[in-house]
Amino acid sequence: MARQRYIQDPKTLKLVPAEEYFREKESRPFTILDDIEPFVSPVDGSTISSRSALREHNKRHGVTNVRDYGEGWFERKAKERDDYVSGRSKRAKQERLDTIQRALHKHGVY
């Protein structure tokens, strides 16, 4: 005899047989994005008229769309760059130490 599997419903907190359990997330309809308006690529001058053409174009030229980056991405990267250039980041500090050690080793001090 097979054992019955149950899942606890997060709203009602009741145990429901697994085959009867219905997740609310699964009931949401899929979002279908409209196709893009055709535009001329600033990279190669070709006309891009669909999302698939845009993906292929970006892949072919090694570029990305600004919408691929989340909110605050540019500000975070600017801070990381400033920290690196000013020597405040761990990576910048480690690179300075490595450079000093290489120089000392090269001149026989270390």
Q: Does residue 2 carry a pLDDT above 60?
A: yes
Please state, rounded to an integer, the average pLDDT across all residues of the chain.
86
Q: What is the pLDDT of residue 10?
A: 81
Mind listing the pLDDT tens digit for each residue in 45-67? 999 999 899 999 999 999 988 87
Asked whether the whole model's pTM tops 0.75, one would answer no
User: What is the rounded CA–CA span in Å between residue 7 and residue 15?
Assistant: 5
Q: In terms of pLDDT, which residue wins out, 69 or 61?
A: 61
Please name the amino acid found at residue 37: E
Dihedral pair phi/psi, residue 103, rounded to 5°: -65, -45
Dihedral pair phi/psi, residue 7, rounded to 5°: -125, 140
Instruction: Please identify which residue in the block is written with the tokens 């429901």.
Output: 16
- How far from each other are the two terminal CA atoms of the chain, in whole angstroms? 74
- CA angle in degrees (0–180, nearest 5) for 69-74-78: 150
